[in-house]
Amino acid sequence: MMGKIKIHRYFIALGIVILPCSAIAQADIHFSQFYETSILRNPALIGVASDNFKVSAYYRNQWSSITNPYQTFMVDAEYRISLGSLGSDFLSVGLLGFSDQAGDLDQKISGVYPAVTFNKSVNPDYNAYLSVGFTAGYVQYSFDPSKATFNNQFQGGSYNPLNPTFESLPVPKMSTYDIGAGINYNFSPAEVTKGTYMFGVSGYHFTQPEFSYYHSNSFTENVRLNVNAGMVHDITNTIVMQAHLNYAQQGTYNEFIIGGLIGWRQFEVSSKSQFEIYADAMYRVNDAIIPVVKMKYKNVGVGISYDVNTSSLTEASNMQGGLELTLSITSQLPKNRDYKYTVCPRFF
């Protein structure tokens, strides 16, 4: 595949380039608390929230029971701006940055994705919005060849790093540019159901960028298609239910996650939520059961989840998958504006 048999065997044996790269090229970084990551799911979800400002941080540690774990860090921010004097339409902007690292050779993937979305009011009676979003990203990949070992360095039953490797390695760094777009529809017929509903589709890697440390045009990144859906429904004044669905397909790989949350809210005198706590159960089909606990105090929310592995890797993983932590801060900026905000699911 690489044109050099020795290099091909070396990559398979160590899993430093083929495995991590294909994992990212064919199945992008993802989070179990996927409903928090607007730009990764669908750029049209930016601005679809009760508050007009949100900043979040994410951490994920995966497969630590099997090998050097995948560790993913991400931060993002989004802000919704009212257009016109009536404030019925909005322009939303966002920015995401992430870093992912895994394996004995410290393969790293880092990326930055700015995004912009237009939220158009299409039915004021049902607070319905049609949102169209775009994102463009820069992603860099690298690994540390100094941490590699080769058969030729093992002689007489012992390892000597000074022994020649007789291997020709590529430049351990490459970068790609990415383009994505999406559309989302959400509506809140509060007088009928006291709920909010949303549905959207999106795509990423439309340019199918070159994806090879050898800069070979035969290796390109497949387009990823994504479908998102969600709803929130007030069962009582203090009990709320959420449901989420996300489906992604990239090349021959796909991921389907579905689940729901049930929450309890305590209110201030002003009828603004003071404290919220949610219990969650998600299921990634043929891979993991994901319990989640989320809490929010005023405008600060925290979440913790853990993937309980149920796939064919169970014997090796002992049902251990990935720990994930999220932190978010939301606000109304600027305050005391006299226009109607979009009323959307409380995805804090």
Where in the chain are the domains?
Answer: 5-331
pLDDT in tens, 176-211: 999 999 999 999 876 555 788 999 999 999 988 887
Cα(74)–Cα(320) distance, integer angstroms: 22
Range with top average pLDDT, 128-132, 310-314, 330-334: 128-132
φ and ψ at 225, to 5 degrees?
-105, 140
**Which of 3.40.640.10, 3.30.230.10, 3.40.50.720, 2.40.160.40 is the CATH number of 5-331?**
2.40.160.40
Predicted confidence at residue 14, as pLDDT, reads 37
Least confident of 54-63, 82-91, 287-296: 82-91
**Segments of 84-194 assigned E as strands:** 89-102, 107-123, 128-142, 154-155, 158-159, 173-187
- Residues 327-338 have a mean pLDDT of 75
User: How many Cβ atoms are within 10 Å of 146's Cβ, its own excluded?
Assistant: 9
How far, in Å, CA of 242 to CA of 245, rounded? 10
Q: Which residues pair with 76 in a beta bridge?
A: 56, 96
Q: What is the mean pLDDT of the chain?
A: 81
Residues 133-179 have pLDDT tens digits of: 999 999 999 988 877 877 777 877 788 777 777 777 788 898 999 99
> Is the Cβ–Cβ distance between 152 and 165 less than 8 Å?
yes
Query: Rounded to a whole number, what is the largest CA-CA distance in the chain?
Result: 80
Q: pLDDT for 207-216, tens place per residue?
A: 888 878 887 7
Burial class (CB in 10 A: 0-12, 13-18, 19+), 203: middle
Question: What would the pLDDT profile of 245-283 be if each residue is shown by its tens digit?
Answer: 999 999 888 999 999 989 998 876 555 668 999 998 899
What is the reported pTM?
Answer: 0.82
- List the single range of 41-50, 85-94, 243-252 with lowest mean pLDDT: 85-94
Kindly state the percentage of the chain with pLDDT values over 70: 80
Q: What is the pLDDT of residue 86?
A: 62
Computed over its alpha carbons, how large is the radius of gyration of the chain?
Answer: 23
Eight-state DSSP code of residue 154: E
Name the amino acid, one letter, at 330.
Answer: T
